[in-house]
Structure 1
Amino acid sequence: MQFVEYTKRRLTPPILNLLLPVKMVFKKIMLLVLVAVSLLLSDQVGGTSISREEDMELQKELKRLNKPPIKSIQEEGGTIIDCIDINKQPAFDHPLLRNHTIQMRPSSYPKETVIEDSMILKPAIIGLKSGGCPQGSVPIRRTRKEDLIVAKSLSSANVHPLTLQQPGYHFATARTRDSTKKYYGARAWISSRNPSVEIDQFSEAVIWIQNRITDQLNSIQIGWTVNPRLYGDNHTRTFTYWTADGYQKTGCFNTLCPGFVQVNAHHHFGAPLSISGGSIFNQYAFVPTVYKDPGTGNWWYLVKTDKAKNEPVGYWPKSLFTGLADFASEIEFGGEVYSPPSKPPPPMGSGLFIPNIWPKTGFIGKIHTVNGFNKLVEPVSLTMATFSDKPDCYHVKYQGFWGFIVRYTMMYGGAGGPNCRD
């Protein structure tokens, strides 16, 4: 130790006096670099820049959305599901729902007109594997800051088939053609697939229930999506999106804003789905029903958990909407993809389109709408209009009645790729 100290003293006059200023400058530079990096990291999430004011607002929004849980469940992959007191869920932060009385069950269920029975098609396995949340609480996916930023960026660019084309978005859909009819809901079997997408892309299969009679589009979307930015992985997961003003100021994905009232202790938006295989005997489908409760006017979401049971998950209160407060003017079924215009767009559906082989192709089968008598009816007398903004890349065909397995069916999809770039 003495030798070291002696050496330092002996070196100071000729050498260290020259090195100290350089050392101090280097420290300052490193400090500035670290500050810049920390600011960059704190102000950019998911590739989106945000200001300090926006960051503070996001922190407030997280505090509002993430209510104190009664219990937390960690799913495979790290997603955290919080069990929230049903009376304290985020839905009731909406100004229109401050004094809302929860409707625990629908006043009535849509009446079945066709017996759905198949040994081949199976409802996708869905729901919390841990037994669900305790009584009096509901499962809600814990929101992260990056979820809010990504959802905001996706929502601000949200588009719909038949709107003005926006770069990067592509659709292949079939919709009800007669705009003079009134619809009160829909059900379909959406074949579950797992198309390959990159971090800044998504691929979806969707049912749109909407009213465009008024100046502002009212819409409820429900289906599955592979969306790494929204969910943080490449699993096929359930999702919803709603709006009451054409995606301007109202609505959001799932429960990332107040609105949807959850009542089920086992099911939540963002749940992973079991995926269809190549064999005809390994076909899974996500089976949602969205319909207007004739007693309350609320739009209920039911999910089929087995061949005989449709469980109520929750509802969008009537008070959220204008046009949909009365009825839907059209129902649409199909696929949607997004990719930055600089990249080749991703696959849609199964990535294949073989119109005569439904197990290999993305399909939405057993299509029903709900009529004014709260009955599920097949589109026997309806003609469906098909639409694809890139028909050489993403294909669509309304098959009509196509046998007793899939019944009234539309098929959609395509591989995407370099030739489909905008």
Structure 2
Amino acid sequence: MWRLLTLKFGRLYRCLKFLFVVSLLVFTLLNTHSFIASFQKNELADRRFISLNKCPACFGTSWCRKFMNGQITFETWGRFRILDFLNVKNVYFAQYGEPREGARRIVLKRLGSNQELADMDQKVCKRAVGRPRCDVTQAIYKTQFSRLNGEVRLLTPDVVEGWSDLVHCPSQRLLDRIVRRYAETKDSGSFLMKNLKDSERMQLLLTLAFNPEPLVFQSFPSDEGWPFAKYLGACGRMVAVNYVGNELWNFYNAPWEKRVDLAWQLLEIAEQLTNNDFEFALYLLDVSFDNFAVGPRDGKVIVIDAENIIVADKRLIKQNKPPNWDVWYESTFDDCGKEACLSFSKEVLCSRVTVDHNYYAICQNLLSKYATWRGTTGGLLHSPPVEIVRAGRLEALLEECAHPKKQYGRFQAARELRDYLAKLSNNVR
């Protein structure tokens, strides 16, 4: 009896094994193209890979010649298409070479995941022809991105307000700045829309609506001292920025002296973006360890992800005087228990002159004990030396900056914390 059962199970196993092998062969035959394609290399001269074939529904063409003539090459794994599934953010590291300058490291971004880019195409198609699928290169001409023809003089707030965080509350002064500094045109320097070609105008507006990060980098360039990565150019749906260095997260367990200096720089960035001579307040809505990087040579902290930044024109606020425009605004502490969460009102950020949001974001999400990231807590200033703990001043200032107990306490705490870290940094150098 037992032998008979063993024979039956043996036959069943062989049968199932045979069916599995047959199914695997059928699946492979049906998916031969995609299977082989997964072992192909990513090529920056491939128009489809960089989506140059979708222009003018793309982000620019100023660097296409560099892409096509081999001046840009992928580093290591970026070349292999089979590994793309690991690259959810569509960010690649590459080498860019100039004949006289030699090679340097750059970062290539698609500005969104494959799904987000597909959703963008569907939205363009639905607005143009009422269907989710279409020829995007033709449909773009039937959307609002092409309605601003060559006769339109200015890009005005009523056209783009609310398209993205950058223009959630735009002023004419901000829009003129964006157009004037648009790097994807040979005639940059003019704020007149009619000086842009039709394709350039559509690329500008599509970028503004989908992911305005390149426009932030161009409008507030690092060459003028703004703490952002430098924009280099674009080809299709691939934009190039300079490589800054390792992400801030890599310095979470750096020596105390290094972390003190980085914390001071972060508060300096908060101050610069909040109060500057241009009277533009740039509020960081997404603050995490992955959105900042540190230069390997100068140790300078730079913002490398600028998709979610609101720009409020303080001059316009002073001119229009909306309700409570001159009342200091304190951001509400929110211990949500999740990584990198912030509590804010976009409408308030756009209507007040004095706002503590950037100090709040830096203190809560990066510096204080409330900062949580990748399973860690304690922030960048965790585990201070014994003498610092005994003094108690650092802990008190961090607490008041993140979770103030008195009115306008964060404003004062952020200023004192910045000065305190500067002194500590000087003492340990």
Could you say which TM-score interval applies, normalised by the shorter chain? under 0.3
Taking structure 2 as the reference length, what is the TM-score of the superposition? Answer: 0.27
Taking structure 1 as the reference length, what is the TM-score of the superposition? Answer: 0.27
Higher helix share: 2
